[in-house]
Amino acid sequence: SRPTAQATQATSPSDCSSSVLEDPAMYQQQQGQPQYETVTLPGDAFPGKQYTFTASNGQQVSFAVPAGMGPGSSVSVDVGAVAAAPQQQQYAQYAAQQYAAQQQTQPAAAQYAQYTAAVAQQQQQLAQQQQYAALLAQQQQAAQYAAYQQPAQQRGSESVTLPGDAFPGKEYSFAAPDGRTVTFQVPQGMGPGSVLTVSY
């Protein structure tokens, strides 16, 4: 007698999700998953005996009765992967093309990110230069204002009567009204008692 087979699990390529667009290899993995059929052993079955049956996919499949199995037992037999339908093969090709297109766009995105980073860095450097220039201008204005605020020193003159030890070329010093110390030399032709006007 021959065993009777019933398909209990089959993985179809049409069951693949949109994740194949992320990696076509996932689609190939789904295509490669095995299909199992449940076989009911006939009355002459015993462990180790070989049987052959025609699976639902048309393939001739041979198997040995596992240990502990006998007549009437149900055995799951791997009958091989399901062949992909033409439309499923077209979908796999489309998924591969979409994946390749995504891979091609990644370098462009990386280049754009590098460009935007470089532009941001240039803008930051320009802003720093502008801040430095503004600070320098403020410092220059402050220095000019401070110089303007300083009162101009008043020029004056003082009449000095030369003492008894005076002679041409000798130096004398006196304190001006604004607190400065003024030093002068006795001019030629002047001596003790001479009156000299000293400008400072």
pLDDT tens-digit readout, 37-94? 999 999 999 999 999 998 888 889 999 999 999 999 999 998 876 544 556 667 778 8
Lowest-confidence segment of 104-113, 132-141, 145-154 by average pLDDT? 145-154
What is the pTM assigned to this prediction? 0.30
First and final C-alpha spacing in the chain: 141
Task: Kindly indicate the confidence band of residue 36, based on its pLDDT and cuts at 50, 70 and 90.
Answer: confident
**CB 7, CB 56: distance < 8 Å:** yes
**Can you say whether residue 68 is alpha, beta or left, with left for phi > 0 and alpha for psi between -120 and 50 degrees?**
left
Q: Where are the beta strands (DSSP E) in 1-145?
A: 4-9, 34-40, 50-54, 60-64, 74-81
pLDDT tens-digit readout, 96-108? 888 777 777 667 7
**CB 40, CB 4: distance < 8 Å:** yes
